[in-house]
Amino acid sequence: MLNDITLGQYFPGNSPIHRMDPRMKLILTILYIVGVFIVANLPGYAIALAFLYIVVRVSGIKFSYLAKGVKPLRFIIIFTFILNLFFVQGETPIFTLGFFTLTKEALNNAIYFALRLIFLVMGTSVLTLTTSPVQLTDGLERIMHPLEKIHFPAHELAMMMTIALRFIPTLLEETDKIQKAQMARGADFESGNLIARAKAMIPLLVPLFVSSFRRANELAMAMEARCYRGGDKRTRLRELKYTKLDLYGALAVAAFLVIIVAEGRLLG
């Protein structure tokens, strides 16, 4: 089940996209999504798709792998599509079925929203697939750094994210172990109705919480023992540096935005 989710997974590699500065990648991803939301006609989406396709090819990740990442979200996408069909008010009816009238505007809106969602997921997947979690939080921290002037805990937030990501595999392993231990005592996690199943989770969740708190405690102590002080004047092991690659990336996204806007003016 967990293997289906490509969003948030890292795909190690050494492509130009992988080597770009995480800060730049974050900003460019946001700009790309903004671009996708500006678009309001089908040729525009074709351009957005073409751009994404080129980026993915450069990154060396299979496009089908990326598309697979949209699959778990298909229900949300279908849901928004139907919602838009029904609730958008339009003036040009295509056909009427009883009290329901399908209008051209509603259909357009529904299609655009579904496409935007798909591009949103795929765009952010490119970011997470090509950027390791550590790099990502590093980049986030640097981007949020100016906010520390208004006492926004950028470093602490980034550190919490790093720690949370680091412990996901540990937690999965632990869950597996405790589940087996309770099964050895005759626990049944697979059968019964919803309430019975929820109740069956207690022998699993309590030990997980207990060990998580204990681990958090130990980690905090281990960090303090190594004189960890968050925030100010920490130097870093890997300095982030913008390179030529980042310039090219920025230029490419800028070109994409210009084309999108120009295309919107021409056709829209």
Contact 42, 267 (CB under 8 A): no
**Residue placing its CB nearer to other proteins in the complex, 42 or 210:** 210
Contact 253, 32 (CB under 8 A): yes
**Residue placing its CB nearer to other proteins in the complex, 52 or 178:** 178
**Residue placing its CB nearer to other proteins in the complex, 147 or 181:** 181
Nearest alpha-carbon partner for 128 in 29, 5, 8: 8
Judged by CB under 8 A, the stretch of 120-128, 148-156, 205-213, 240-248 that binds other proteins is: 205-213
Q: Residue 186, interface with other proteins (CB under 8 A)?
A: yes
Q: Residue 187, interface with other proteins (CB under 8 A)?
A: yes
**Residue placing its CB nearer to other proteins in the complex, 162 or 212:** 212
Q: Residue 62, interface with other proteins (CB under 8 A)?
A: no
**Residue placing its CB nearer to other proteins in the complex, 1 or 184:** 184
- How far, in Å, CA of 34 to CA of 158, rounded? 24
Judged by CB under 8 A, the stretch of 12-20, 81-89, 204-212, 236-244 that binds other proteins is: 204-212
**Residue placing its CB nearer to other proteins in the complex, 188 or 218:** 188
The footprint of other proteins on residues 206-265 (CB under 8 A) is: 206-207, 210-211
Among 4, 156, 173, 188, binds other proteins (CB under 8 A): 188
Q: Residue 172, interface with other proteins (CB under 8 A)?
A: no
Contact 34, 264 (CB under 8 A): no
- Print the SS3 string covering the chain: CHHHCCCCCCCCCCCHHHHCCHHHHHHHHHHHHHHHHHCCCHHHHHHHHHHHHHHHHHHCCCHHHHHHCCHHHHHHHHHHHHHHHHHCCCCCEEEEECCEEEEHHHHHHHHHHHHHHHHHHHHHHHHHHHCCHHHHHHHHHHHHHHHHHHCCCHHHHHHHHHHHHHHHHHHHHHHHHHHHHHHHCCCCCCCCCHHHHHHHCHHHHHHHHHHHHHHHHHHHHHHHHCCCCCCCCCCCCCCCCCCHHHHHHHHHHHHHHHHHHHHHHHHC
Among 183, 240, 245, 259, binds other proteins (CB under 8 A): 183
Q: Residue 2, interface with other proteins (CB under 8 A)?
A: no
Among 42, 202, 216, 219, binds other proteins (CB under 8 A): 202
Among 180, 197, 199, 234, binds other proteins (CB under 8 A): 180
**Residue placing its CB nearer to other proteins in the complex, 96 or 170:** 170
Q: Residue 82, interface with other proteins (CB under 8 A)?
A: no
Q: Residue 5, interface with other proteins (CB under 8 A)?
A: no
Minimal distance, residue 183 CB to other proteins, in Å: 6
Residues lying near other proteins in the complex (CB under 8 A) are found at: 174, 177-178, 180-188, 202-203, 206-207, 210-211
